[in-house]
C-alpha cells in the first residue's frame, strides 16, 4: 500500500483513512478469512441468500457490473476454478511448487447465478457457485480509499496504490501524477522506467507473471478464463490500462488478458489507453498510450 499526498501535513490522516478502507474491504470480501462476510455468506453447500452489508453489496455490484461489461470475461463465479488451480490460501503462504493437479476444462457457473437486489441489499447465490471478488475488490478499495483520504484533507490531492491498482482524487500536482508502469507493483522505481502522467481517474495492471506457481512441472497463474475454468492462455502476460476509475481500469486490464488475441482491438474501440505486453516481451500500445519518453495525461 502506498499513499501519496500533495500536502505533507495531511499524510498521517490520509494514510489512516486508507488503512480503514482496506481493513473494511478485507473483512467484507476476503476468501482467505473464515470470519469475512463473504466467507460466512458462502458457508454451506446449498443455495445461499442473505441481506449483506452496504460494502459487500457494493463489491458484489461492482463484480457483476464487470461481468456484464465484459460479456463474462471477468466473472466473480471463478472461485472454485481458482482453488482447483492451487490458489487456495493467501498468496504469501502459497507453496511455489507442488504435486501435479488434475485440471479439466469446465466453464465456471456464470455471473447470472448471483442475484443482487440493490434496494434491499439482498443476495441470492445458487448452489455450486463459489464467489471470488479478487478481480475487482482491490481496485474498488483503491477508489474508495482515495475518496476517503481526500474527504479528510483541507486541500490538495491524493494518490493511493494498492498492489499496483492506482486511484487518484482531488487536485493533482502541477505536472500530474507520475506513475511508473511495471509488471510487478513491488519493482523498484528507476529513472529510466516507463512512466505516464495522469490528472484524474485510475491505472491498473493485470499480469500473469507475478502470481504464479508450479504444480507437477506446469506453470499456473491466478487469472481464470471463465469459458474454460483454467488459467487464461492468451498471448498477453501483462496489460496496463488507464480509465476514469481504478475499477474500470482493472476490469479492462483483466478482461484483456482473458480475451487474448482480440484484446487490443477491444481496448482501442473502447477508447481506453492501454499497454499490452505479450509472452515474449513485445509491447503494443493502443488508445493514445504514449511511447516511452513521451508523457501524456
Tell me the pLDDT of the chain (297 aa) as tens digits.
999 999 999 999 999 999 999 999 999 999 989 999 999 999 987 899 999 999 999 999 999 999 999 999 999 999 888 877 765 556 576 667 676 656 666 899 999 999 999 999 999 999 999 999 988 999 999 999 999 999 989 889 999 999 889 999 999 999 999 999 987 667 777 777 789 999 999 999 998 876 654 566 655 556 888 998 888 788 999 999 999 999 999 999 999 999 999 999 999 999 999 999 999 999 999 999 988 765 444
In whole angstroms, what is the distance from residue 48 CA to residue 27 CA? 19
Domain boundaries, the chain: 1-35+46-297
The per-residue pLDDT for 297 is: 45
In this structure, are residues 198 and 177 in contact, taking their beta carbons and an 8 Å threshold? yes
Helix ranges (H only) for the chain are 11-29, 37-42, 54-69, 79-84, 137-151, 246-259, 263-270
In whole angstroms, what is the distance from residue 235 CA to residue 78 CA? 21
The per-residue pLDDT for 172 is: 96
Class of domain 1-35+46-297 as given by CATH: alpha beta
The per-residue pLDDT for 205 is: 94
Q: Where are the beta strands (DSSP E) in the chain?
A: 2-5, 48-51, 114-117, 122-125, 157-162, 165-170, 177-180, 195-198, 202-207, 212-215, 218-221, 224-225, 230-231, 236-243, 274-278, 283-286
In whole angstroms, what is the distance from residue 99 CA to residue 41 CA? 31
Coil, strand, or helix at residue 277? strand
- Cell 510487478 found at: 184
CA atoms within 13 A on the CB side of 184: 8
- Residue 24's φ and ψ, nearest 5 degrees, are -65, -40
In whole angstroms, what is the distance from residue 211 CA to residue 215 CA? 13
CA atoms within 13 A on the CB side of 269: 6
Strands 230-231 and 224-225: antiparallel
Coil, strand, or helix at residue 158? strand
The per-residue pLDDT for 296 is: 47
Task: Count CB neighbours of 140 within 10 A.
Answer: 27
In whole angstroms, what is the distance from residue 256 CA to residue 285 CA? 13
Amino acid at each position: 500500500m502506498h499513499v501519496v499526498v500533495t500536502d505533507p501535513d495531511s499524510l498521517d490522516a490520509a494514510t489512516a483513512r486508507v488503512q480503514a478502507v482496506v481493513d473494511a474491504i478485507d473483512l467484507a470480501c476476503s476468501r482467505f478469512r473464515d470470519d469475512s462476510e463473504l466467507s460466512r455468506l458462502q458457508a454451506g453447500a446449498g443455495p445461499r441468500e442473505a441481506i449483506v452489508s452496504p460494502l459487500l453489496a457494493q463489491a458484489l455490484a461492482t463484480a457483476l457490473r464487470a461481468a456484464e461489461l465484459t460479456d463474462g470475461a471477468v466473472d466473480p463465479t471463478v472461485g472454485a476454478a481458482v482453488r482447483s488451480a492451487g490458489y487456495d490460501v493467501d498468496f504469501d503462504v502459497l507453496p511455489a511448487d507442488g504435486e501435479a493437479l488434475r485440471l479439466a476444462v469446465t466453464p465456471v457457473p456464470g455471473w447470472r447465478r448471483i442475484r443482487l437486489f440493490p434496494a434491499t441489499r439482498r443476495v441470492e447465490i445458487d448452489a455450486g457457485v463459489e464467489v471470488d471478488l479478487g478481480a475487482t475488490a482491490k481496485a474498488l478499495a483503491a477508489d474508495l480509499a482515495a475518496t476517503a483520504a481526500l474527504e479528510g484533507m483541507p486541500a490538495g490531492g491524493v494518490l493511493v496504490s494498492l498492489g499496483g491498482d492506482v486511484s487518484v482524487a482531488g487536485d493533482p500536482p502541477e505536472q500530474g501524477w507520475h506513475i511508473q508502469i511495471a509488471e510487478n507493483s513491488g519493482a523498484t522505481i528507476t529513472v529510466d522506467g516507463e512512466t505516464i502522467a495522469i490528472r484524474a481517474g485510475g491505472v491498473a495492471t493485470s499480469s500473469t507473471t507475478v502470481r504464479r506457481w508450479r504444480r507437477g512441472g506446469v506453470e499456473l497463474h491466478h487469472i481464470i478464463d471463465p469459458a474454460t475454468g483454467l488459467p487464461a492462455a492468451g498471448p498477453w502476460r501483462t496489460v496496463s490500462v488507464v480509465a476514469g476509475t481504478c475499477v474500470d481500469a482493472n476490469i479492462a486490464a483483466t478482461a484483456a488478458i482473458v480475451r487474448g488475441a482480440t484484446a487490443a482491438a477491444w481496448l482501442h474501440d473502447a477508447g481506453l489507453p492501454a499497454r499490452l505486453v505479450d509472452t515474449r516481451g513485445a509491447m503494443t500500445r493502443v488508445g493514445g498510450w504514449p511511447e516511452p519518453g513521451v508523457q501524456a495525461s
